[in-house]
Amino acid sequence: MDLFLFGTLLHMPLLEVVSGDADVRAKVHLGVRTGFRVSRVAGQVFPMMHADPDGVAEGIIVQGLSDEALARLDYYEKAFGYDRVEFVVLDEHQTPRNVTCYVGEEGRWTPAEPWDREGWIAALGEVTTMTAREAMGLYGEVPAQVMGSRYPQMMARAASRQRAAREAGGRGMGRSDVQLIEARKAYSGFFTVEELDVAFRRFDGTMSDPVNRVVFVGVDCSIVLPYDPVRDRVLVVEQFRPGAYLRGDPNPWTVEPIAGRIDPGETPEEAARREAAEEAGVDLKDLHCVSAAYPSPGTTTEHFFVYVGLCDLPDGTAGQGGLPSEAEDIRSHVMEWADFDADLNAGRFNLLPLLVAGHWLARNRDRLRGASA
């Protein structure tokens, strides 16, 4: 039976990756389902099809898919709670056609405004296709539900790669001076670890012998130190960190700036503002970029966008924060500048992003205070 698609899989590059069928575009025809409409799901970026007596749900009819292509599509859609159901649509010649279509559980979502397919493609089409390449690499290895639970982190990794590709290249050698011999996933879960065999150009112009490297594949993060230039106060947060625990630190609760991953479709500045609200209930005003840099590119892909964010920090600002859904247990502290500066210079902080933001603030504090007077 033919397949009717109405949502994100109308983006042909994504459909090719998920189906594994390089010729799928030749199997596509226009189709509509009358009495239904396609709308964005409230609170989400993807669409749903719902009943509307005056509506017409536009989509495509895909003919002649192989069993393998259909199984791949089933795997991808089941990861997000979609199952195939049968109904009738009209093809481009207004002829009724029996089809199957991926539809979510009845009553699970609420429709918002009509879905803007072209807007979604412009904003998220590329990163979703990049994510699908990693997601479909799990086909045949882990159940669809497990893949779905890992999908948000996979999408954050894809967004990081997309962001890096759009950055201006530096001087000297570039990616063309690296020969990738083989890449293997040494571990795949919430995070991934990749093992690479590569050769790279030496400074004398010759290529190196093949070398083996193992890299933790993280995501881009926004980090912000809130500062109140009127009251001359900073806010820091404290939380348990397993890395410090595994190192053997007697106190694996670290004092930090506010930090969090940059979600797909989000700018680093937007992420900084969102995380400040989530972790500490702070509404940031102006953001001042301190740096955008790698913490340790020899072992991880993580990339940090560090800011000082101007805000109000009145008495009573400190408290508990974080999202229970992410198992966050975060305590915030408001520090007078004199106390923060004393701890900074005494080496009492042990997190590099806090040191970077703190020393930048020390150099620029008078200017910020003067501008806020």
- Give the catalytic positions in this structure: 326
Cα–Cα separations (whole angstroms), residue 73 to 67, 83, 151, 241, 352:
10, 10, 15, 38, 44
User: 35 with 52: CB under 8 angstroms?
Assistant: yes
Integer Cα distance of 102 and 15 in angstroms: 14
Integer Cα distance of 347 and 336 in angstroms: 17
User: 192 with 233: CB under 8 angstroms?
Assistant: no
Nearest CA among 232, 220, 201, 250 for reference residue 362? 232
Encoded tokens for 9: 């899989």
C-alpha Rg value of the chain to the nearest Å: 25
Alpha helix segments (H runs only) across 166-297: 242-247, 268-280
Encoded tokens for 355: 């040191």
Integer Cα distance of 67 and 59 in angstroms: 21
The owner of tokens 């559980």 is: 105
Contact residues for 328 (Cβ-Cβ < 8 A; gap 6+): 239, 279, 321, 322
Nearest CA among 197, 193, 198, 191 for reference residue 216? 193
